[in-house]
Amino acid sequence: MADALHDQIRAFILENYLFTADTSALKLDDSLLGRGIVDSTGMLEIIFFIEEQLGVKVKDEEMIPDNLDSVNRIAAFVESRRKAA
């Protein structure tokens, strides 16, 4: 399901790592690491994006693939943190 949050996350990754606005270039479930879309530094930038643009603080122990390795996982993580707040 793609809502505004999913769109925002996908747009960020498309613009910063795939350099395109074509949404078909990135599926919501694509592994960001497995497909070679981001590397270690890219993952750090995604964390900054989550913190600064989406307003959710990422704790050290939350920096795991389950929370960060696809658009869907990032969106689910952000939603759960926003609800908990």
* Chain residues that interact with another protein, rule: CB under 8 A: 15, 17-21, 33-36, 38-44, 47, 60-61, 63-65, 68
Minimum Å distance from CB 15 to another protein? 7
Q: Considering the complex, state which of residue 29 and residue 39 has its C-beta at the smaller distance from another protein.
A: 39
Minimum Å distance from CB 80 to another protein? 18
Q: Considering the complex, state which of residue 1 and residue 21 has its C-beta at the smaller distance from another protein.
A: 21
Check residue 60 and report its DSSP letter: G
Q: Considering the complex, state which of residue 3 and residue 61 has its C-beta at the smaller distance from another protein.
A: 61
Minimum Å distance from CB 1 to another protein? 26
Q: Are 71 and 77 a contacting pair, CB within 8 Å?
A: no
Alpha helices in the chain (DSSP H): 4-13, 40-52, 65-68, 71-84
Query: Strands, DSSP E only, in the chain?
Result: none
Distance CA 57, CA 54 (A): 9
